[in-house]
Amino acid sequence: MAGATPGANKCTRCHGSRCCTYATEALGAAPRSKSDFEHLLWQVSHQGVEIYKDADGWYLMFQGACEHLLPPDGACAIYDTRPQICRDYSNDWCEFDEPAEKGFELYFRNHAELLAYCKKRFKSWGKR
């Protein structure tokens, strides 16, 4: 990344800045009711929105690269003034080591995948 010392961390070896191509947001309480899952179905129906569950809970994942990534290697154009969340990010373990998806217990990339899960979870799904 711009401003980083070459070889100082894994970021200097990660081409494309994988961790900067999406954002996640914790859902808070785990979805339990059919109503909760109806809301998630609406969210995952939008382009670039995915949902996953890992050991820490349920998350929305928004696919979309940070506007500050520079071609061709994904260096950060605002490295010296980047937001605090970027400064706090630790790459002790990151997607340079292995894909985040490896730790997902559940992963829904679209409406159809989540709907199939809902039909298994709720035997009465779709019955009015």
- Residue spans per domain, the chain: 10-31+51-107
* Residue the block writes with tokens 């894994």: 10
Q: How far is CA 64 from the centre of its chain?
A: 10
pLDDT over 60 (residue 19): yes
| 23-60 pLDDT tens trace | 999 999 999 999 999 999 999 999 999 999 999 999 99
84: tokens are 């605090």
pTM to 2 decimal places: 0.82
Distance CA 38, CA 113 (A): 13
Q: pLDDT tens digit string along 37-47? A: 999 999 999 99
- What's the DSSP call for residue 45? T
